[in-house]
Structures are given as C-alpha cells and as structure tokens.
Amino acid sequence: MLAVIGGSGLTQLASLAAVRREVVRTPYGEPSGTLTFGRIGAQEVVFLARHGHGHTIPPHRVNYRANLWALVKAAGAEGIISAASVGGIRADLGPGALVVPHQIIDTTWGRPQTFFDGGEAPVVHADFTEPYDRALRERLLCAAEAAGLRVSGSAVYAATQGPRLETAAEIERLARDGADIVGMTGMPEAGLARELAIPYAAICAVANWAAGRGDSASAIHFDRLEGVLHEAMGRVRRVIEHLCETEV
C-alpha cells in the first residue's frame, strides 16, 4: 500500500478508483480528513488531503502526527509520497518546474514534531542524514522520465513556518544557506515518517518565484499562481500515476 499526501492543488487523485473512505482517529487526534482507499493500476493507494478537503487547515495547524499515524499504523502504508507546492529560489526552478528534493532545511517552530515525546518508550534519535528515501525518489524520477516529464532530481527544500510568505531577505538568507525551493509543509512530515521508519519522498510543483526573485521581485502575484499550480499539479499526478502503474 502506497500513501499519497496531497497538498495545495492536489486535493484528490482523479485516477484513483476509490473503493472506500474511512474516518480514522489516532492517539494524536484527528488527521486532516478521511482516508480514501483505492487503486491506481495494480498499486493499492491511500490518499489524504493534507489541508483537508475544503483546504481549510493552514500549514502550522496540520496534525502531521495524526496524518502519519493514520496512514502508517491504521491504513498500513509502506511508503509515502508527498505532493506539495513550493516557491522557487534556484534560477532554474521557476514557476511550473517539478522537483524531487534530496535535502531539507527546517525553520518551522511550534509544531509537534516527534512521536518520542516522553512517556514510557525510550527515546530514539532517528537518523535523518538523508531525509528522503533514495529508492522512492528514484522511482519518482524514473516515473517522470517514463511519462516524458522534466523533473529536477536535486534540490534543498527549506521548510518555513507560514502561513505568511517570506520576506525577500529571508529568501536571500535561505538561498545563502543552500536552499533551492521553499514550502511550508515538508517538516515535520518527513521527520515523522523517518521516526516511523517508513520510506518517504516528495514531489514538488513550483507555483511561484519565491519572494524577491523573478516576477516576485516586489510582490508575489497570486493571480498567476493558481493557474501555474493547477497545470503543474496535473503533471505531478501523471508522475504518481506512472509510478503506480510500474512494477517495482
């Protein structure tokens, strides 16, 4: 079973032949919404909309622990693909680009970020040197190639707190730190997946130039963003479909 967590612009998987929906409760509270179970090709898939079906949950209020727990412990997912929208920082990652990041810089705060939060169980310090699963990233990149879609396979994802967008100086600093793309939901999601020892990879659609870059030099133009994201998430969906239809 493969889990797909859909972000902004991907609140459902059209190709998912939905078999059933399930409301799941977890020791960490409620996940973002019902889990949709189904199949793409031969692959069993469980889908969850990260921000809720009506896109009402902001990035800092997503119950990441409940989402991960529901997908892995309740639904039995053995791998997780995150689809997320991001801002582009690196010069070759403008609006419309697709990216499978390989590294993370986390600047989020105040989000419950661990399953090892005291109590009876001994603390585990999960290794996070490579935050994304290599094999799953490779599968995403191969699926994109098979689908004839261009995807950048190397990028550092900076996770910011949101929901406000960044200042131009914040983006400049992130760029100096080595960040190539910026989003608000990559953490603690990836870290929690690692704590559960579940392979996790992300495919990101660049919705806009990050603050201060390209046509976002003086402001981010939301009117352009929606159309770009819609089209790019269509390609993300095709990559995920290809991945599901390909035997491992």
Beta carbon nearer to ligand HPA, 66 or 179: 179
- Minimal distance in Å, beta carbon 130 to ligand HPA? 23
Q: Is residue 174 a contact point for ligand HPA (CB under 6 A)?
A: no
- Minimal distance in Å, beta carbon 159 to ligand HPA? 9
Count of positions on this chain that bind ligand HPA (CB under 6 A): 12
Between the CA of residue 71 and those of 37, 86, 189, 244, what are the distances in Å? Answer: 10, 23, 12, 17
The encoded tokens of residue 120 equal: 């009876």
Beta carbon nearer to ligand HPA, 99 or 182: 182
d(C-alpha 207, C-alpha 205), whole Å:
6
Beta carbon nearer to ligand HPA, 85 or 108: 85
Strand intervals (E) in the chain? 2-6, 17-22, 35-40, 43-49, 79-88, 98-99, 103-106, 156-159, 181-183, 200-209
- Minimal distance in Å, beta carbon 212 to ligand HPA? 10
Nearest to 142 by CA among 41, 29, 243: 243
Beta carbon nearer to ligand HPA, 26 or 161: 161
DSSP state of 25: -
Q: Is residue 86 a contact point for ligand HPA (CB under 6 A)?
A: yes
Which residue has 């400049």 as its token pair?
172
Q: Dihedrals φ, ψ of 168, to 5°? A: -60, -35
For ligand HPA, the binding residues in 178-217 under the rule CB under 6 A are: 182-184, 207-208, 210
Nearest-10 crossing angle of helices 134-146, 222-245: 100
- Minimal distance in Å, beta carbon 182 to ligand HPA? 4
Beta carbon nearer to ligand HPA, 237 or 242: 237
Which region, judged by CB under 6 A, interacts with ligand HPA, from 61-69, 111-119, 145-153, 158-166?
Answer: 158-166
Which residue ranges make up the site for ligand HPA (CB under 6 A)? 85-87, 160, 165-166, 182-184, 207-208, 210
